[in-house]
Amino acid sequence: MNWRVIRDKPSALGFLGGILSGGIAVMLAAVDHSMWLVFLVLSQIILVPTVGRAARLTHETPGGGQ
């Protein structure tokens, strides 16, 4: 990542939200609570557009290499 992505508030909040909901999913799965799957899906729903936004900000395509 570069500074442009790090300083972008929607990107930072998206990454933070995705990571937190993924962590909650792991904790819920550890205690065998059935809501872990909801948080896992929510994490993916948040992270996919956030990664796309970060790629647009850095003028790279996802999986474009280098």
Here the tokens at position 8 are 């972008």
| Both structure tokens of 16 | 């933070």
Each of the 66 residues of the chain gets a pLDDT tens digit; together they read 578 888 899 999 999 999 999 999 999 999 999 999 999 999 999 999 999 999 898 876 556 555
Neighbour count for residue 15 (Cβ, 10 Å):
19
Confirm if 58 and 2 have CB atoms less than 8 A apart.
Answer: yes
The continuous run of DSSP H or E covering 42 comes out as helix 36-57
φ/ψ of residue 8, rounded to 5 = -75, 115
Q: 50 and 14 in contact (C-beta within 8 Å)?
A: yes
pTM higher than 0.85? no
